[in-house]
Amino acid sequence: MEKSDAQIAIVDYGMGNLFNIEKALEKVGCQVRVTDNPSVIEKAAGLVLPGVGSFKDCMANLINKELVHPIRKFIHSQRPFLGICLGMQILFTESEEFGQTKGLNIFKGKVVHFSKNCKLKTPHMGWNNIKIKKRVPILKDIPDNSYFYFVHSYYVIPDDKNISATITEYGTKFTSSVWKDNIFACQFHPEKSQQLGLTILKNFRKMSINAN
């Protein structure tokens, strides 16, 4: 018999469209709570950090809502964590968006604009494929070269290339997802990527249930 669902918390720091990721997680059977309450985050079986907008505003909101410590504490607990788009970028040391802004520094590395290495127009918007560098649990049943939906003008450059789970090309090759221990974060939007995106969320659900 499968274990009963444990709650997935989505961090609400006042930015981005939380409705899409909430509904997508519910569609794959998750019990979901959108929250900015540290005690709810602390008790969750899985944590999702989504995001749309600027890196600088994101960090300011996380600081103002006193969510930095709860997020770091959850990550260090080894329970499943999913970062999406800006929620991936914020895990890194710093971003050059609107000047240098410090991130959560979970991963060493920086966030840079496509214009540094790419002559194509920004934002990088629409469907693009991912090249799987290593088979990690959350990519179970995801074929190599699958297409996912992207909307972004900045991308991450990890110091440790070994954390790159997938690579995507848009004028330049960039890390489109990372994996280490309990952390998976992706530049693309699973909640906007139809059936394959739902497969990733199903895998996250299973990991969260098993961690409970």
* Catalytic residue numbers, as ranges: 85, 189, 191
Kindly report the length of the chain.
Answer: 212
Q: d(Cα 72, Cα 111) in Å, to the nearest integer?
A: 19
Beta bridge partners of residue 210, listed in sequence order: none
Amino acid identity, position 46: G
The DSSP call for residue 128 is E
Return the exposure string of 91-114: e unless at least 16 CB atoms fall within 10 Å of the residue's CB, then b: bbbbbebeeebebbebbebbbbeb
Residue whose tokens read 């909307």: 151
> Which residue, 30, 33, 42, is CA-closest to 5?
30
Q: d(Cα 55, Cα 199) in Å, to the nearest integer?
A: 28
Q: d(Cα 86, Cα 157) in Å, to the nearest integer?
A: 14
Q: How many CB atoms lie within 10 A of CB 166?
A: 25
